[in-house]
Amino acid sequence: MDNNNPLQGQRIVVVGGSSGMGLALSAQLLKRHCDVTIVGRSQHKLAAAAEQLGTAGSLRLHAADVTQEPQVQQLFEAAGPVDHIVCTAADIRGAYELLPDLALAAIERALRSKVIAPLLLAKHGAPHLRPGGSITFTSGIAAYRPRPKGVAVAAINAALEGMVRALAVELAPLRVNAVSPGWVRTPIWQDVAGVDSDALLDTMAQRLPVGRVGTADDIADAILFLLGNGYTTGTVLHVEGGHRLV
C-alpha cells in the first residue's frame, strides 16, 4: 500500500454517487485507484455519471432504491466484501416548507432517504465490511442553523447524527461517522430554493467567514479524511465555512 494513498485498492460503495457530492467523491476515489461502486435509483443518471467519470480506475454501477430493504440486501450481495460505505443521497423534495404547507408525504420521503436508508445500509452493509472498514453518512447545517421552512430537515438531520453515535458504539470496531455540509452549490439546491437558489447562495457567501459557499469537492475532501483516518468514529465533521458562527 502507498502510505501517501492509504485508500489505494480499497472497495468503496458510494450511494448517491451519480451527482453532486457523491459524484465528486467518486471522481477523487477513482484518482486514488479505488474500486468504486456508485449506487443510484436512476439508470440514466448512473450512465451519465460513468461517462463523466471516464475510464480511470475501477468503476461499477448499481441501480437501487436504498429506502427499500430487499434492494439494499441485493446491493451488498452483489458487492461482496467492501472497505467503506458512503451515503450522500437525500430526497428532500417538498420538505422545505412552512408548517401550514408541509405535506406528510414530503416528510416521509425525506425521512426514508436520510434516516431509514442509512439504517438499512448499516444493517446490511456492516456484515460485508472488512476489518478497518467504515460507514459515512451526510447530515447538514439545518440541524444547527435552521431557517424558516426548515423544521423537517432540521429534525431529520439531528436524528441521523444521533444514529451515527449509536451505530459507532454498536458496530465497533467498525467506524461510523457523518459529514455535515453547510450551503454547497450542488443540484440539490434546486429542490430547496428553485429559481432563487443562485441568489440565496450568493447572499450566504457574503455572510460566511470564508467568503464563499462550498463546492462538492470541499465535501468530498472531508469524506476522504473520514475514510482514511482510523481513529475517528462517532463524529460529525462540520464543513460549512463557519456557518455555525454567524
pLDDT of residue 187: 76
Q: Which helix (H) or strand (E) holds 7?
A: none
Largest CA-CA distance found in the chain, in angstroms, rounded? 56
Beta strands in 17-80 (DSSP E): 35-40, 58-63
Give the helix, strand, coil percentages of the chain, each rounded to 5.
Answer: 50, 20, 35
Rounded CA separation 180/157 (Å): 9
- 81 phi and psi, to 5 degrees? -65, 135
Pair 239, 180: CB distance under 8 Å: yes
What is the fold, at CATH topology level, of the domain defined by 11-235?
Rossmann fold (3.40.50)
- Contact residues for 195 (Cβ-Cβ < 8 A; gap 6+): none
Considering only CA atoms, which of 96, 92, 123, 121 is closest in space to residue 108?
92
Q: Is the pTM of this model over 0.85?
A: yes
Owner of C-alpha cell 436508508: 117
Given a contact cutoff of 8 angstroms between Cβ atoms, the answer to whether 75 and 39 are in contact is yes
CA-CA distance, 35 to 119, in Å (whole number)? 24
DSSP conformational letter for 18: T
Beta bridge partners of residue 86, listed in sequence order? 14, 136
Q: What is the pLDDT of residue 198?
A: 84
pLDDT in tens, the chain (246 residues): 566 788 999 999 999 999 999 999 999 999 999 999 999 999 999 999 999 998 666 999 999 999 999 999 999 999 999 999 999 999 999 999 999 999 999 999 999 999 999 999 999 999 999 999 999 999 999 999 998 999 999 999 999 999 999 999 999 999 999 999 999 988 776 666 666 778 888 999 999 999 999 999 999 999 999 999 999 999 999 999 999 999
Report how far residue 137's alpha carbon sits from residue 48's, in angstroms, rounded to the nearest whole number. 24
Cα 243 to the center of its chain, rounded Å? 19
How many CB atoms neighbour CB 221 within 10 A? 15
Q: What are 236's strand-pairing partners?
A: 178
Cα atoms in the Cβ-side hemisphere of radius 13 Å centred on 128: 23
Neighbours of 102 (CB within 10 A): 16
Sheet with 35-40, strands from edge to edge, namely: 58-63, 35-40, 11-15, 82-87, 129-138, 175-181, 236-239
The DSSP secondary structure of 17-54, one letter per residue, reads TTSHHHHHHHHHHHHTT-EEEEEES-HHHHHHHHHHHT
